[in-house]
Amino acid sequence: MKKIAILLACTMMLAGCTELLDDSNEPTTYTNQDLDGMYYGLLLSLRVEMNADDSYTIYLLEMKDCFESVDGANEYLDEADDESGVVYDTCVYEEIPLEEEDDLQITSELSSESNVPYIHLELASLEFYFTCDGGDVITGDWVNDGEADCAEGEDEEEGAENNITSYEHEEFSMYLAADGNGVLIYPEGSDFSENGFPCITMNKAPQYPIMADAAEILIEFQEDGGEIDVEDASTIPSDVIDLFASFDESFSESVIQSLASECNGVSFSQASLIFYIWATSLAEGNTAPGFSMYDFDVSDAGTSLSSASNETLAYVQMTSGDDWNWALVTLQLSVNDGGYMQCTNPQETIGNSCHLSNDDGDTSWTVGESLTLSEGFDDLCDGSSACYVRVKLIDSMSDDTIYESNPVTVGN
């Protein structure tokens, strides 16, 4: 997803999309084995591997890049020498079994509705904590690690691991149907749900080339004076609706409609608006228009903290997105659930609160680049008790929050 120029250069093959529909009036008979295969979505894709005994494995696919041809994608993968990388259609993905994601709580059920088999997934992120007798809370990874972190050392006592508690945060749920359709449902209160996109449609046919064509049409439509309202589907140009006609007809006739009533009326055409917002924001140098294709990871730096200042707290890595100019980046830090403070960027003079630094000294943040988040002249975490930090990333041009981390325990 990081190269919009490549995505916009992809060409659409509508002939392949028409295979989604069956001209016959005879009802189609589906079996559990019809669930096998790829389910392409705008924000993520999944692959279902069905076994003969109807057991199954579900793989998460994180897109790395898309190319104009399968040969180009395979050449990229060969040069990357990435054993976890795979090529589907003209895109390169990292493929990971969902069951190997230790920080996710995953439940899945194989069932049937109107004689159409489907898989229902529920995904939640997990954080593990241990509460010391004195009230301090430490991360679960510190329990029985050979070093006492509670004042009385109870985290190193035999059986302490039995007192580790978990915090579960609902991420989303999904339905994948044997008729070739799927849907991702965001919980109430999430950014997408609050902004009028509670569901993202999925299908077994690749969508990114068509999304790219839709973005070009929407850009030209706006340049010609057309107005687009993301909350009003009637403002979507008819040419865009035509691109997704076979997808939307298939989805409207899918068993998904009865499984996820909150998604009735949601269309692939509307999903193209998210792609369009992202595409135009990159073209304008604004990376956060409210819906972001960007993601980040915040991790403990492993520093033994003290009462000194300017100590390293965490690493912040961009895991997906496009180059983000430092002039547009605002990183804010909350310590132990306190108010957010603004950190200085690598190109700015270190201030009192917190500071970001990088190794290359360039003008932008790129995918895969990990930044060091440190204290400024103030001592934020003195090592006397557990220290929790939360990171918020804001686009300084639009003032939109594009990422906010869960609490991360730092120092040991």
Q: List pLDDT tens digits, range 229-282.
A: 766 778 888 998 999 999 999 999 999 999 998 888 888 887 777 767 655 554
φ, ψ at 155 (rounded to 5°): -75, -10
- pLDDT attached to residue 78: 83
Strand 324-325 with 364-365, pairing:
antiparallel
Domains, in order of start, for the chain: 4-122+170-283 (no CATH), 295-410 (2.60.40)
Q: How confident is the model at residue 335 (pLDDT cuts 50, 70, 90)?
A: very high
Hey, what amino acid is at 257?
Answer: Q
**Predicted confidence (pLDDT) per residue in 195-222, tens digit:** 667 888 999 998 878 887 888 888 888 8
- pLDDT attached to residue 196: 67
Q: How confident is the model at residue 287 (pLDDT cuts 50, 70, 90)?
A: very low
- Is the overall model pTM greater than 0.75, yes or no? no
The whole-number average pLDDT for the span 166-190 is: 85
The CA R_g of the chain, rounded to the nearest whole Å, is 23
- Cα–Cα nearest to 202, from 260, 138, 130: 260
Q: How confident is the model at residue 25 (pLDDT cuts 50, 70, 90)?
A: low
- pLDDT attached to residue 57: 94
Q: Is the pLDDT of residue 3 over 60?
A: no
Q: How confident is the model at residue 8 (pLDDT cuts 50, 70, 90)?
A: very low
What is the DSSP secondary structure assignment for residue 305, as one 8-state letter?
-
Return the structure tokens found at 241: 């609706």
- pLDDT attached to residue 43: 66
Q: Let me know: does 287 contact 294? Beta carbons within 8 Å.
A: yes
